[in-house]
Amino acid sequence: MDIQRGNIIVMDRRTGKLRAGQGLLQGLKVVWDHWAASFRKNENFTQIRGNFTVEYPDERLQLPQAYRNMPVLLYDDESGHELCTGCYQCQRICPPQVIHITQAKDPVTGKMVPAATEFIIEYDACMSCGFCAEVCPFDSIKMDHVFELSTADHDSLTMRKAQLNRPISYYTSIAPDLWEGVKAGAMKKLQGNIKRRPGVIGMAPSLTEKIKARRQELAEAAAAAPPAAAPAAPAAPAGKLTPEEKAAKLAAMKAANAAKKAGGEAAPAEAPAAELSPADAKAAKLAAIKAANAAKKAGGEAAPAEAPAAELSPADAKAAKLAAIKAANAAKKAAEAAPAVAAPTTGNGTAAPTDEKAARLAAIKAANAAKKAAEQGNNE
Amino acid sequence: MIKTEELQINIGPQHPSTHGVFRMLVTVDGETITDLKPVFGYLHRNHEQIAEVNTYLQNMPYTDRLDYFNSMANNHAYAIAVEKLAGIEVPERAEYIRVLMVELTRVLNHAGALGFLINDMGAWQTQLAFGMREREKILDLFESASGARLMCNYFRFGGVVRDLPDDFMPRLKDLLVAMPAFIDELERLLRENEILLQRSEGIGILPRDLAIAYSVTGPVLRASGVAYDVRKAEPYSVYDRFDFDVPVGSVGDVYDRILVRIEEMRQSKRIIEQIIEQLPDAQGGHINPKARQNVRPPVGDVYARVESPKGELGFYLVSDGSTKPYRYKVRAPSFINLTPLGDMCRGYKVADVVVILGSIDIVMGEVDR
């Protein structure tokens, strides 16, 4: 047979220069050289000798940006809106058919909304081919770098939307160049989609509950403001309360609510945060709880004050009121800081460490202020 | 009076030396093999039937799982088949990237195959560890380009999924510095080693005529003295632009197969060096922007083949004009190279069976499909 641009080499079976045993010794020398070099750490890939071992759980190689393991869903850090519109492209292309999407509907008009109410990926059957990420026209689905997903049961690997959500800031931390390439188009499409989404539809589930709660509170506060006097009036005959005392009680209640809120806001953050950045999240939670307790204490001290209120001098009541207001403010501050903790930590602890730190600081400050307020209340 | 009788024993399917779930029904007369029947099918996973309910693109990640050592070569064969069927053109640069990946695959396959062969002979792990170290370096490159080490899923119709990352070429050049040193050292370790010679010289001879009659391909065929390489016989992609030699053996025993594989690694390195020279001048991008991935090829059939590290890997596709192949058939080199195992083993000792099987270099994922 003719061969173009090359020759046929018949392999030389034996050089025959070596005497019996020499070939063995020559081979042993190779092994010996490797053994001798193995005590030296070597990361230079032009070399073939040395210790190339990476002591895995302790040391880790930097993963390339293109690395793909399991798909995740991105949401915008600022608006909380998911990039996914539920267009079914990924569900159609998925070779093992593990993606299941439920399209969102407008509750009023019943029309389709460019958002997904549920998005399930069966991680246990996913083959990590990356087609879903490639085909996604909104750059919503991306391949995660986390590969330590072992569990003992299959059910926990059926990931729902809340478990798949990652903020964009997390994706930029693992693949900055890849995101930079698609950023402009993705954000433009997202802005268009947000306009077509009524209410909280299309928001990351971790944020939706919070936003719903906040909106409801605001609505209640608005509704409760004028008739606030009404419930206050029946309270008057029960205790012969002076206006100052009434105010103190109200302030104490407010403080308690605010503190409860602070506690409540921080609590949901605990579950996802605890796994990812145990130290920071735990500290933040602790601070928030402390703030709540301190505020409650302040409230508690002020509230019993109601019963013997008659004996209290107006000055004392005023001081108690002041302390309670301070506590309320501090607690409110803590409450505001807490969602900031919750938001970035849902994705990954590394996403926004500075925010977390700030939140933690705020929570600690709030706790201190609340404590101080409580002490003041006690003293007076 | 002493009477002897033949004994039938099973080697495998659960045996560390059978390279997967593979059974050999061996008839022995004392220590000598009088007959051997390979029994396949323990790893059958309905690959071809699954492919017929998937779209053309959805099959790409499934081809990774045929010969899981060489996913890039499998991707290449399948991509060529679909491109031929649908008439998709591939830009020059994409062709170079493809060939680069496939030649790297050949090096890592042979490095691993020789390691496992020496493992089968009883030199537990030493050569395998050296081979795996070089293989890891190549897998790191694959990971940075495709995102995965083994199941690369890197090829698309009309090119590859993304261009090479910036740090790929410097790392590849580092690797090419280490590669000749590794191959020379491998040769020093194996070529003259008296123990290896005793285990491999004159063992498992596959005569030239028998090899052709069995349609054996790849290094096993070349070791039997037939200079047949698909890259030369029917140059696909851009293989006609490279200078490289075809190593052949003279006897067709296990030792020749070792020598042929070592030389093929050298030739692959030569090709990679030529790619590095020619790649900057190559026209086009990493993928043909006009190529639709959701292909709907016209009615017809196609057979496309490549020289995978294990032999001729072919895909036969029949299109009925829909988005899914009507028929999808894989001509798997491991499977066809395994069929003459009985003839290769007859007359040798039981201990040689494992060595002969190792020298064929099979992956059960491809044998059973």
pLDDT tens-digit series, residues B208-218: 999 999 999 99
In 3D, which of A373, A276, A266 has the Cα closest to residue A330? A373
Residues A81 and A176 in one domain: yes
Average pLDDT over chain B, rounded to an integer:
88
For residue B127, give the chain A residue with the closest CA: A31
Write the single-letter amino acid at A287. Answer: A
Q: Could you tell me if residue A235 is inside a domain? A: no
For residue B10 the two structure tokens come to 């099973």
Q: Beta A99-105 vs B155-156: how paired, if at all?
A: unpaired
Q: Are residues A121 and A177 in the same domain?
A: yes
Separation of alpha carbons A337 and A356, rounded Å: 9
| CA A332 to centroid of chain Cα atoms | 22
Residue appearing with tokens 């990356």: A130
Percent of chain B with pLDDT strictly greater than 70: 100
Same domain membership, residue A175 and residue A248: no
- For residue A288, what pLDDT band results from cuts at 50, 70 and 90? low
Per DSSP, B38 falls in state: E
- The 10 Å Cβ neighbour count of residue A353 is 13
How many Å apart are CA A98 and CA A91, to the nearest integer?
8
CB contact under 8 A, A11 and B251: no
Does residue B241 carry a pLDDT above 60? yes
Contact B263 A52 (CB under 8 A): no
Would you tell me which residues 108-127 of chain A have a C-beta closer than 8 angstroms to some C-beta of chain B? 127
CATH number at residue A138: 3.30.70
Interface test with B, best of A2, A4, A7, A8 (most B CBs within 10 A): A8
User: How large is the angle between the packed helices B350-360 and B254-278, nearest 10 degrees?
Assistant: 20
> What is the spatial distance between Cα A122 and Cα A159, in angstroms, rounded to a whole number?
6
State whether B190 and A27 contact (CB < 8 Å). yes
Range of weakest confidence among A175-179, A234-238, A257-261: A234-238
Residues of chain A positioned with their CB less than 8 A from the CB of B228:
1
The answer to whether the CB atoms of B240 and A4 lie below 8 A apart is yes
In the listed set A152, A183, A218, which residue is the last one of a domain according to the structure? Answer: A218
Contact B61 A10 (CB under 8 A): no
Closest partner CB to A45 (pick from B59, B61, B178): B178
Closest to A138 measured CA to CA, from A197, A97, A95, A96: A197
Which residues of chain A does B174 touch, with a Cβ-Cβ cutoff of 8 Å? 44-46
Residue A190 within a domain: yes
pTM score: 0.73
Q: Does A232 contact B at CB distance below 8 Å? A: no
**How far is residue B73's CA from residue B79's CA, in Å, rounded to a whole number?**
10
| Interface residue B298 vs chain A (CB under 8 A) | no
**Which residue in chain A has the smallest CA separation from B323?**
A93
A80 and A165 part of one domain: yes
Tokens, residue B62: 């499934």
Least reliable range by pLDDT among A247-261, A336-350, B285-299: A336-350
- Cβ(A140)–Cβ(A73) below 8 Å: yes
Pairing state of beta strands B32-39 and A165-167? unpaired
> How high is the mean pLDDT of chain A?
71
Average pLDDT, integer, range A11-33: 78
* B6: contact with A, CB 8 A cutoff: no
* B248 at interface of A, judged by CB pairs closer than 8 A: yes
Smallest CA–CA distance, residue B166 to chain A, in Å, is: 11
Q: Given A218, A233, A259, which residue is the final one in a domain?
A: A218
Contact B191 A23 (CB under 8 A): yes
Q: Is B279 on the interface with A (CB under 8 A)?
A: no
Region B104-127: mean pLDDT is 87
Taking the Cβ of residue B251 and every Cβ of chain A, the question of whether any pair is shorter than 8 Å is answered with yes
Does any CB of chain A come closer than 8 Å to the CB of residue B181? Answer: yes
- Print the SS3 string covering B121-160: HCCCCHHHHHHHHHHHHHHHHHHHHHCCCCCCCCEECCEE
Determine the pLDDT at residue A195.
80
Return the number of other C-beta atoms located less than 10 Å from residue B321's C-beta.
10
What pLDDT score was predicted for residue A316?
54
Note whether A83 and A201 are same-domain residues: yes
Q: Can you tell me the ipTM of this complex?
A: 0.81
Same domain? A254 vs A359: yes
| pLDDT band, very low/low/confident/very high, at A272 (cuts 50, 70, 90) | very low
Q: Is the pLDDT of residue A9 over 70?
A: yes
Residue A292: pLDDT band (50, 70, 90) is low
Host domain of residue A112: 71-218
Residues A316 and A363 in one domain: yes
A354 part of contact set with chain B, CB < 8 Å: no
CA–CA separation, A107 and A104 (whole Å): 9
The Cα–Cα gap between A260 and A67 comes to: 43
User: Measured between CB atoms, which of A15, A46, A66 is closest to B145?
Assistant: A66
Question: Are both A75 and A213 inside the same structural domain?
Answer: yes
Shared domain check, A214 and A259 = no
pLDDT of residue A344: 40
Nearest to B356 by CA among B340, B369, B368, B367: B340
Rounded Cα distance, B141 and B151, in Å: 13
Angle at B65 (CA atoms; ends B11, B136), nearest 5 degrees: 90
A210, pLDDT greater than 80: no
Which residues numbered 46-85 in A keep a CB inside 8 Å of some CB on B? 46-48, 52, 61, 63-68
Residue A22: list chain B partners with CB under 8 A. Answer: 192
Residues A247 and A193 in one domain: no
The pair of three-digit structure tokens given for residue A51, joined into one six-digit string: 């210790």
Beta-strand runs (E) in chain A: 8-10, 71-75, 99-105, 112-122, 141-143, 158-159, 165-167
pLDDT band at A253 (very low <50, low <70, confident <90, very high): low
Average pLDDT on A81-99 reads: 88
Q: Looking at CA atoms only, how far is residue B126 from chain A in angstroms?
A: 8
Instruction: State the Cα–Cα distance between residues B253 and B273, nearest whole angstrom.
Output: 31
Does residue A195 form part of some domain? yes
Q: CB contact, 8 Å: A147 with chain B? A: no
Q: Classify each residue of B27-60 as buried b or exposed e, where b means 16 or more C-beta atoms within 10 Å of its C-beta.
A: bbeeeebeebebebebbeeebbebbeebbbbbbb
Residues B155-167 have a mean pLDDT of 89
β A165-167/A71-75 pair status:
parallel
pLDDT at A290 over 70: no
For B244, residues 6+ apart whose C-beta sits below 8 A from its C-beta are: A5, A6, B231, B267, B268, B270, B271
Looking at the complex, does the CB of residue B61 fall below 8 Å from at least one CB of chain A?
A: yes
Coil, helix or strand at residue A54: coil
How many domains does one find in chain A? 2
- Per-residue pLDDT, A61: 83
The whole-angstrom separation of Cα B210 and Cα B364 is: 23
Same-domain check for residues A283 and A361 = yes
Domain match, A82 and A213 both: yes
Contact flag A66-B249 (C-beta cutoff 8 Å): no
- Cβ-defined contact of B182 to A26 (cutoff 8 Å): no
In a domain, A230, yes or no: no
- Set of chain B residues whose Cβ sits within 8 Å of the Cβ of A30: 185, 188-189
Q: Is A20 on the interface with B (CB under 8 A)?
A: yes
Q: Which of A140-144, A174-178, A299-303, B95-99 has the lowest mean pLDDT?
A: A299-303
The minimal CB distance from B162 to the residues A23, A66, A93 is found for A66
Is the pLDDT score of A95 beyond 50?
Answer: yes
Q: Which residue of A has its CA nearest to B196?
A: A24
Tell me if A31 sits within 8 A of B126, measured CB to CB: yes
**pLDDT interval class at A278 (50, 70, 90):** very low
Between residues A219 and A287, the one the model is more confident about? A219
**What angle do helix axes A205-224 and A243-276 make, rounded to 10 degrees?**
170
**pLDDT at A331 (0 to 100):** 60
Q: Does residue A56 lie within any of the structural domains?
A: no
Largest CA distance in chain B: 81
Which residues share a beta bridge with A113? A104
Residue with tokens 């050292």: B185
- The 8-class DSSP code of residue B228 comes to -
Last residue of a domain, one of A218, A252, A277: A218
Give the best residue of A2, A4, A9, A12 to mutate against chain B (max B CB count within 10 A): A9
Distance CA B338, CA B335 (A): 5
* Antiparallel, parallel or unpaired: β B23-29 and A141-143: unpaired
A117 in Cβ contact with A107 (< 8 Å): no
A31 and B CB contact within 8 Å: yes
Q: Which residues of B333-343 are buried (b: 16+ CB within 10 A; e: fewer)?
A: bbbbbbebbbb
Total count of residues recorded for chain B:
369
Q: Has residue A320 been placed in a domain?
A: yes
Min Cα distance B244 → chain A (Å) is 5
Token pair belonging to A355: 């925010």
Give the list of residues 6+ apart from residue B237 with CB closer than 8 angstroms, or none. Answer: B76, B80, B90, B95, B98, B99, B306
